[in-house]
C-alpha cells in the first residue's frame, strides 16, 4: 500500500468545502489518505438561500444549525474537521459599501489568525494544503482573508522561529488554489446539455461573459479525475440545507453529463517544495518520493 498522506483544505465558511474540491477529498479518503477541513468562520451571517428553510426559528438558531450542517457534511465526505472560531464578516452590499462589522474575521490581525491556523497545521501535519487564490474565488472579504491566512500559515508552519509555542514545526510540501469555475468548463457542459436537447443553466452566464476577462482555466496546473465521487459531493452540499436549495442551479446538470463531460476538479499549484511535472493529475504528485526517501 502507498504511504498514507495528509491533505488539509482551508475554507472561509461551512458549505465552502462541499462546493469546492469535495469530490477530490472524497477520492483521497477512499484511497485511505487523511483529509481535514478547517473552517475559519461559523458562517453566522450567511443568508438563508433555501426557501424551504426560510423560517423565523431557523434565523434564531443559525449558528447551531450551521454547525450541525457542517458536521453532517464532514461525515458524508469522511473528513476530519476543525473550526478556527472566527465570526463571519458577511458580504457587504451597497454603494458605498458599508463598514465591516466589529469583531468579524476580515478585521482580525493577520498575525493572530495565522498563528491559530499554524497550530492546527502543526498538529495535523498535512503534506498538501488547499485554499483560495488571491481573489478568494469571489470577492467575499472572508474568502480573501482566508487566502491571506492560508498562505501565511503555509510559509510559517515549518519555521521554528515563528510561533514557537504553537507546536513542533511542520513544513507542508505543496500549496494549491482551487479553481471550480472556468469558462471552458461551463462551455463544455453547456454544449453537452444542448446536444441532448436539455436547457443549459449556463446560457445567460456565457452570453454575459466578458471575452477580455481572464479565465481561471488559464491558471490550472492540476486536474484530479474524481467524477465517481460527484454523488458524495452533492450529498455533502445538500447537508448544508440553509445554504443549498436542492432545486437550485447546483443540481441542474445531470450527474452523468458532468461525469462524461468534465469529470475533474481543478487546481493551481501555487507553492511546491518537491519536484513535480506539470500538468498533474494528483495533488500528492512528487510527495511519495519525498516521504519515502
Q: What does residue 250 show for φ and ψ, rounded to 5 degrees?
A: -55, -30
What pLDDT, on the 0 to 100 scale, is given for residue 293? 44
Q: What is the DSSP string of 189-223?
A: HHHHHHHTT---TTHHHHHH--TTS--GGGG--EE
Report the run of H or E that residue 237 belongs to, with start and end.
helix 230-239
Domain range annotation of the chain: 6-182+216-292
Under 8 Å between Cβ of 75 and 119: no
What pLDDT, on the 0 to 100 scale, is given for residue 94? 83
Mean pLDDT per block of 10 residues along the chain (293 residues) reads: 85 96 98 98 85 81 91 98 96 88 96 98 98 92 98 98 98 96 92 96 90 86 98 97 88 96 97 97 88 53
Q: Is 16 annotated as a binding residue?
A: yes
Q: Is 143 annotated as a binding residue?
A: yes
Neighbour count for residue 184 (Cβ, 10 Å): 14
Q: How far apart are the first and last CA of the chain?
A: 16
What pLDDT, on the 0 to 100 scale, is given for residue 58? 77
Query: 273-286: buried (b, 16+ CB within 10 Å) or exposed (e) per residue?
Result: eeebeeebebbbbb
Q: Is 240 annotated as a binding residue?
A: no
What pLDDT, on the 0 to 100 scale, is given for residue 104? 96
Report the run of H or E that residue 20 belongs to, with start and end.
none
What pLDDT, on the 0 to 100 scale, is given for residue 56? 80
* Helix axes 141-156 and 110-124, enclosed angle (nearest 10): 60
d(CA 88, CA 13): 7
Q: Which three cell numbers stand for residue 213?
A: 476577462
Q: Could you say which DSSP state residue 95 is in?
A: S
Say which CATH topology domain 6-182+216-292 has. Answer: Rossmann fold (3.40.50)
Amino acid at each position: 500500500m502507498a504511504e498514507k498522506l495528509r491533505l488539509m483544505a482551508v475554507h472561509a465558511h461551512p458549505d465552502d468545502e462541499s462546493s469546492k474540491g469535495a469530490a477530490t477529498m472524497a477520492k483521497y479518503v477512499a484511497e485511505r489518505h487523511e483529509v481535514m477541513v478547517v473552517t475559519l468562520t461559523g458562517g453566522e451571517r450567511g443568508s438563508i438561500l433555501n426557501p424551504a428553510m426560510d423560517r423565523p426559528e431557523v434565523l434564531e438558531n443559525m449558528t447551531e444549525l450551521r454547525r450541525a450542517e457542517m458536521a453532517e457534511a464532514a461525515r458524508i465526505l469522511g473528513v476530519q474537521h476543525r473550526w478556527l472560531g472566527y465570526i463571519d464578516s458577511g458580504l457587504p452590499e451597497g454603494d458605498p459599501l458599508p463598514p465591516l462589522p466589529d469583531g468579524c474575521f476580515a478585521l482580525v490581525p493577520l498575525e493572530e489568525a495565522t498563528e491559530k491556523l499554524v497550530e492546527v497545521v502543526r498538529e495535523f501535519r498535512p503534506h498538501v494544503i488547499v485554499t483560495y487564490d488571491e481573489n478568494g474565488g469571489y470577492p467575499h472579504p472572508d474568502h480573501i482573508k482566508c487566502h491571506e491566512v492560508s498562505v501565511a500559515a503555509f510559509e510559517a508552519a515549518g519555521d521554528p522561529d515563528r510561533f514557537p509555542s504553537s507546536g513542533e514545526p511542520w513544513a507542508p510540501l505543496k500549496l494549491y488554489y482551487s479553481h471550480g469555475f472556468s469558462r471552458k468548463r461551463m462551455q463544455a457542459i453547456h454544449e453537452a446539455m444542448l446536444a441532448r436537447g436539455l436547457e443549459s443553466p449556463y446560457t445567460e452566464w456565457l452570453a454575459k461573459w466578458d471575452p477580455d476577462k481572464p479565465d481561471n482555466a488559464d491558471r490550472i496546473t492540476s486536474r484530479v479525475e474524481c467524477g465517481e465521487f460527484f454523488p458524495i459531493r452533492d450529498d455533502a452540499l445538500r447537508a448544508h440545507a440553509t445554504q443549498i436549495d436542492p432545486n437550485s442551479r447546483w443540481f441542474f446538470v445531470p450527474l452523468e453529463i458532468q461525469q462524461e463531460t468534465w469529470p475533474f476538479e481543478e487546481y493551481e499549484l501555487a507553492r511546491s517544495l518537491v519536484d513535480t511535472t506539470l500538468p498533474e493529475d494528483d495533488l500528492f504528485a512528487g510527495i511519495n518520493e519525498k516521504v519515502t526517501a
